[in-house]
A and B are shown apart, each in its own frame.
Chain A
Amino acid sequence: MPRLPRIVGALLPTALLVSALAALIGVPTAGAAEGTINLVAYSTPAAAYTAINVAFSKYPAGAGITVAGSYGPSGTQATNVINGQAADVVNFSLEPDMEKLVKAGLVSAKWDTVGPDHGMVTDSVVVFIVRKGNPKHITGWKDLVRSGVQVVTPNPFSSGSARWNLAAAYGAERKLGRTPAQAQAYLKALLSHTAAQPSSASAALATFLSGTGDVVLDYEDDAIAAINKGDPIQYVIPPQDILIENPIAVTTQAANPTAARAFVNFLLSKKGQELWAIEGYRPVLPGAAAAASVTFPTPRQLFTIASLGGWTKVEKTFFDPTTGIVAKIEEGLGQSTASG
């Protein structure tokens, strides 16, 4: 077939050239298109943002703007932005991930002066998601360490949700009157009951739904979304619980700062907060939940991360990858659970 090489010979360099050019110019590169804002967020609000983005595009300030969303474990997403992922708006699970970006010069140190609640866009609480009917009768923190109960919680070194879970567990024990040493012992017991430690909150819920474990520790909003989807679960809000606060900010390197700010303003506005409430997220704007006709029960003994010393202290004491209390517990447990 002498014709074959000629065709190949002609097409191949042309295809190469065109492809190389396209790649270099960056065909649909995220952020290059007019009116696109890059949202980098933690894993859970993927579904919520889909609905909210539609509403935003119908809003005057949002006309002609598309929101390109990337969702993943909060810690990982922060790392990716630092490594160069294009981001106009960042929405993390917890403050320390935002502070990482401040340290890298990607977010202004004044991010927490924005909005009605010092930089936060939504609140939530830690809940215990169990199988429908709650067959293991899990109602409080003590039930998680009962013999025979298997817990699913994400990996605390990548997932924000996991850090909220463990901070809540520790704080709950302290609220119940235990000493720091006893509270740490509880953490050890809790971690020894984990059946899996996936990388993000969503992954943890997916793992639970595919059959692993008796209970998964997750955000209230994730539980609500799953129930709305019809998943066979229910959730329990423990009486001692921590207030989860999710920060949001416009980055300093935003390609589209005006659009980005308009988006964040929308999310913090009355309309935006009502939409969050409908999606199951506790709004930070007072009155928004009522306006959306959604009620969120308040745990009897609700505390904040401030009562544990603030995130900076908690991150260092508990979640430092080498010297943190949780790291040491995991290591210690590893020696004995290595039989897998």
Chain B
Amino acid sequence: MTLLEAPPVTGAPTTPRWRAAGRVAARVGAPGTAVVYLSLLVLIPLAALSVAAFHGGWSAFWAGVRDPESWAALKLTVLSALVVVVVNTIAGTAIAWVLVRDQFVGKRVVASLVDLPFALPTIVAGLTLLTLYGPNSPFHLDAAGTRFGVWIALAFVTLPFSVRAVQPVLSELERDAEDAASSLGARSPTVFRRIVLPSLAPAMLSGAMLAFARAMGEYGSLVFISGDRPFATEVASLRIFGLYENGQNNQAAAVSLALLSLSLVVLLLGGVLRRRLTRPEFG
């Protein structure tokens, strides 16, 4: 319909009032609605969390975080996330390498399976891992109630992040430099270390940061396999749930804020580091 309208003949195009109003509405109303929605759902609740965490001032917040069981939970969470991220960054890069550079029957299936831990509800993931690594394990690999069980669950849920961060970069990588290097006599490990790795490093770091933030907050898959033992396998999310269950909302908020801040710092750091590492010719 608009194609058949003759364009305005005289100089400045005339805009009907309602159309101008529509434009203003679009410019103000749209971001406005988005902000209101975000506020009601995300920003205000997080603000309430901060207020509850500092209910009683800095000393109360600090006391809540340094409470022996909460402090142990936070330490365990960070430690477990680190272990799992290191393992999965290596494994994820290896998996991405195989998916991009290798060819074998069923590769497509494997590629989709990598995404499964993301699509699967965490509680199902927990039950799934329990059947294989719990007390009824057919291989007698009982990891329930141990830190190893926690690591297995975290590795499961963070795997997609590690693989998918690296895979597209790897598939876009030009092989010229690698081929040149190997034709000059460099062996594969050297080629990998000197040429491929530096190009992959930003992506690996990205994936690692996302995986870390994810692992820090994980809850559903840990509920059954961890055994929820204070000081031993009780991670921060389980501790927060326990504090909430007992009606200690302010302490729960304090530990939550500490956990959230750690995740945010890691994500921000990751972004900064990644930009530092990204060479000009790739971005």
Q: Which residues of A contact B (CB under 8 A)?
A: 73, 75-76, 78-79, 82, 100, 155, 157-158, 194-199, 207, 210-212, 321-322, 330-331, 333-335, 337-340
Kindly state whether residue B15 has any CB partner on chain A within 8 Å: no
Contacts of B147 in A (CB 8 A): 340
Q: How far is the CB of B82 from chain A (nearest CB, A)?
A: 16
Q: How far is the CB of A175 from chain B (nearest CB, A)?
A: 29
Give Cα distance in the complex from A64 to B248, angstroms: 39
- Asked if A73 and B130 make an inter-chain contact with CB atoms under 8 angstroms apart, the answer reads no
Q: Which single residue of chain B is at the shortest CB-CB distance from A207?
A: B227
Q: For chain B, what secondary structure do more than half of its interface residues adopt (helix, strand, loop), or is it mixed?
A: loop
A75 CB contact (under 8 Å) in B136, B142, B232, B246 = B246
Contacts of A211 in B (CB 8 A): 134-136, 142, 144
- Asked if B144 and A212 make an inter-chain contact with CB atoms under 8 angstroms apart, the answer reads yes
Give Cα distance in the complex from A338 to B71, angstroms: 12
Give Cα distance in the complex from A158 to B248, angstroms: 11
Kindly state whether residue B168 has any CB partner on chain A within 8 Å: no
Contacts of A333 in B (CB 8 A): 231
Contacts of B248 in A (CB 8 A): 321
Kindly state whether residue B72 has any CB partner on chain A within 8 Å: yes
- Asked if A157 and B227 make an inter-chain contact with CB atoms under 8 angstroms apart, the answer reads no
Also in contact, A196 and B229, with CB within 8 A (given A330-B69, A334-B69) = yes
Cβ proximity bits B67-84 to A, threshold 8 Å, 1 near / 0 not: 111001000000000000
Contacts of A155 in B (CB 8 A): 228, 230, 242
Contacts of A331 in B (CB 8 A): 68-69
A76-B246, A195-B229, A197-B227 known; 15 other A-B pairs, CB under 8 Å?
A75-B245, A155-B228, A158-B242, A195-B145, A196-B145, A197-B229, A198-B227, A199-B228, A207-B224, A210-B144, A211-B144, A330-B230, A334-B68, A334-B230, A340-B232
B145 CB contact (under 8 Å) in A73, A75, A79, A212 = A212
Also in contact, A199 and B231, with CB within 8 A (given A211-B135, A211-B136) = no
Interface residues of B in 204-237 (CB under 8 A from A): 224, 227-233
Also in contact, A157 and B242, with CB within 8 A (given A211-B134, A211-B135) = yes
- Asked if A210 and B134 make an inter-chain contact with CB atoms under 8 angstroms apart, the answer reads yes
Kindly state whether residue B247 has any CB partner on chain A within 8 Å: yes
Give Cα distance in the complex from A194 to B145, angstroms: 11
Q: Which single residue of chain A is at the shortest CB-CB distance from B135?
A: A211
Give Cα distance in the complex from A73 to B228, angstroms: 15
Contacts of A330 in B (CB 8 A): 69, 230-231
Most B Cβ at <10 Å: residue of A73, A197, A340: A340
Give Cα distance in the complex from A157 to B238, angstroms: 13
Kindly state whether residue B146 has any CB partner on chain A within 8 Å: yes
When A and B form their complex, which 10 residue pairs have the shortest distance between CB atoms, in order from nearest?
Answer: A211-B135, A334-B231, A340-B232, A196-B227, A76-B245, A158-B245, A157-B246, A79-B247, A340-B147, A331-B68
Give Cα distance in the complex from A196 to B144, angstroms: 9
Contacts of B233 in A (CB 8 A): 340
Give Cα distance in the complex from A196 to B147, angstroms: 13
Cβ proximity bits B131-153 to A, threshold 8 Å, 1 near / 0 not: 00011100000101111000000
Kindly state whether residue B192 has any CB partner on chain A within 8 Å: no
Give Cα distance in the complex from A295 to B100, angstroms: 69
Contacts of A76 in B (CB 8 A): 245-246
- Asked if B130 and A210 make an inter-chain contact with CB atoms under 8 angstroms apart, the answer reads yes
15 of the cross-chain contacts (CB-CB < 8 Å) are A155-B228, A157-B242, A196-B227, A196-B228, A198-B228, A207-B224, A212-B227, A334-B68, A334-B231, A337-B232, A338-B231, A338-B232, A340-B146, A340-B147, A340-B231
Contacts of B68 in A (CB 8 A): 331, 334-335
Contacts of B67 in A (CB 8 A): 322
Q: How far is the CB of A99 from chain B (nearest CB, A)?
A: 13
Contacts of A199 in B (CB 8 A): 228, 241-242, 245
Give Cα distance in the complex from A334 to B69, angstroms: 8
- Asked if B245 and A197 make an inter-chain contact with CB atoms under 8 angstroms apart, the answer reads no
Give Cα distance in the complex from A334 to B130, angstroms: 25
Q: How far is the CB of B67 from chain A (nearest CB, A)?
A: 8
Give Cα distance in the complex from A100 to B246, angstroms: 11
Most A Cβ at <10 Å: residue of B72, B227, B228, B245: B245
Give Cα distance in the complex from A194 to B231, angstroms: 13
Q: How far is the CB of B123 from chain A (nearest CB, A)?
A: 13
- Asked if A197 and B144 make an inter-chain contact with CB atoms under 8 angstroms apart, the answer reads no
Q: How far is the CB of A297 from chain B (nearest CB, A)?
A: 31
Give Cα distance in the complex from A333 to B142, angstroms: 23
Contacts of B72 in A (CB 8 A): 334, 338
Q: How far is the CB of B193 from chain A (nearest CB, A)?
A: 36
Q: Which single residue of chain A is at the shortest CB-CB distance from B145?
A: A196
Give Cα distance in the complex from A195 to B233, angstroms: 11
Q: How far is the CB of A322 from chain B (nearest CB, A)?
A: 8
Give Cα distance in the complex from A289 to B134, angstroms: 40
